[in-house]
């Protein structure tokens, strides 16, 4: 079965007014960040993403997603300007 492109709606329309979504479940957060649910779970476990609990469900706030998305995530790259020592 062919799947269409998945996108998370940035806002919800209600009675002609647009209301911004304030919190996301893990799947919606994954769609918003363009990553897998497992990747979101890893970031929650490591503390990179913060979550709030409401009853038995865990949610990630819109502010947390914005902060995470605005950060630089390229810390794993190495500096290529280092000169190699020749033995």
How many Cα atoms sit within 13 Å of 58 on the Cβ side? 10
Q: Which of 84, 22, 76, 81 is nearest to 54 (CA)?
A: 22
Prediction pTM value: 0.63
Query: In terms of DSSP H, where are the helices of 1-84?
Result: 26-33, 37-46, 62-70
Contacts of 49 (CB under 8 A, 6+ apart): 29, 40, 43, 60, 64, 65, 68
Local confidence pLDDT in tens for the 87 residues of the chain: 455 555 555 666 667 778 788 999 999 999 999 999 999 999 999 999 999 999 999 999 999 999 999 987 766 556 566 555 565
């Amino acid at each position: 079965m062919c799947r269409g492109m998945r996108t998370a709606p940035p806002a919800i329309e209600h009675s002609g007014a647009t209301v911004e979504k304030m919190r996301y479940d893990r799947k919606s957060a994954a769609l918003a960040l363009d990553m897998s649910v497992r990747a979101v779970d890893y970031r929650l476990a490591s503390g990179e993403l913060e979550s709030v609990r409401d009853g038995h469900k865990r949610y990630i706030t819109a502010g947390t997603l914005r902060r995470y998305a605005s950060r630089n995530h390229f810390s794993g790259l190495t500096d290529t300007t280092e000169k190699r020592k020749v033995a």
